[in-house]
């Protein structure tokens, strides 16, 4: 996938890097930090390596948030353009490299949700995707997650989306309000009442 706004040399470097991925394995947190630091100095090889090591994970995050592959690809592209342009802003003392990258992806996803909000026919997040997340996990937690999925299914559509966005992804109430195109007070009420209903359902 070509990235608009990135030097052309990056594309060739990425092809070389991908041939080495199997032998190199996953980068450590320290290696990711170093790749970001080198990227801030205009090192396209480091940027290509950073992309190769983190793009699959970040694409998965974007896909789960937005629920559409094509839009997730656009979000990933926007995020890596931001990485190239803002890598000098990264401060290892304030958090991990993957945490910083994930934050950039989430911000791009929020922007996309806001753009969706002006199109009523496509407003919101895919319930199927969000509910599948609530049902995923290790087998030893399967019963608990199954109960949670059942209780979530009893909530109305929009309140359920608000709860999942808040508690699965950590979006603020303000972000959810903008993304779903509803008043902030409504979002707060949805979440408060929905959490109360979930507690009653799970305790029942």
- For residues 30 and 69, membership in a common domain is answered with yes
The tens digit of pLDDT for each residue in 94-120 reads: 889 999 999 899 888 877 776 765 443
42-85 pLDDT, tens digit per residue, is 999 899 889 988 999 899 888 887 777 888 899 999 999 999 99
Same-domain check for residues 130 and 72: no
pLDDT bin (cut points 50, 70, 90) of residue 28 is confident
User: Mean pLDDT across the stretch 177-204?
Assistant: 85
Q: Say if residue 89's pLDDT is above 50.
A: yes
Residues 49 and 134 in one domain: no
Which range of residues forms the domain containing residue 174? Answer: 124-204
Q: Are residues 26 and 109 in the same domain?
A: yes
* Co-location of 94 and 14 in the same domain: yes
Q: What is the pLDDT of residue 140?
A: 42
CB 112 within 8 A of CB 72: no
Question: 94 and 54 in one domain?
Answer: yes
- Same domain? 67 vs 164: no
On whether both 119 and 132 belong to a single domain, the answer is: no
State the average pLDDT over residues 127-153: 56
Confidence check: pLDDT of 16 > 80: no
Please count the structural domains in the chain: 2
* 199 and 171 assigned to the same domain: yes
128 and 118: one domain?
no
Q: Return the higher-pLDDT residue of 42 and 131.
A: 42
**Residue 121's pLDDT band (boundaries 50, 70, 90)?**
very low
Residues 117 and 151 in one domain: no
**Would you state the pLDDT for residue 141?**
46
């Amino acid at each position: 996938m070509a990235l608009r706004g990135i030097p052309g040399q990056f594309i060739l470097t990425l092809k070389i890097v991908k041939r080495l991925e199997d032998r190199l394995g996953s980068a450590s947190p320290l290696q990711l930090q170093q790749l970001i630091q080198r990227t801030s100095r205009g090192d396209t090889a480091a940027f290509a390596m950073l992309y190769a090591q983190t793009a699959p994970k970040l694409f998965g995050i974007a896909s789960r948030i937005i629920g559409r592959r094509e839009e997730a690809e656009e979000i990933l592209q926007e995020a890596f353009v931001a990485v190239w342009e803002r890598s000098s802003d990264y401060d290892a003392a304030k958090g991990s490299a993957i945490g910083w990258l994930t934050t950039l992806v989430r911000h791009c996803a929020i922007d996309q949700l806001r753009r969706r909000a002006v199109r009523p026919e496509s407003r919101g997040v895919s319930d199927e995707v969000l509910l599948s997340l609530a049902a995923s996990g290790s087998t030893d937690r399967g019963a608990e997650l199954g109960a949670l999925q059942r209780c979530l299914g009893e909530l109305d559509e929009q309140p359920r989306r608000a709860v999942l966005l808040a508690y699965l992804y950590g979006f603020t109430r303000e972000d959810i309000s903008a993304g779903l195109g509803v008043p902030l007070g409504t979002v707060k009420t949805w979440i408060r009442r929905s959490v109360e209903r979930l507690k009653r359902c799970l305790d029942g």
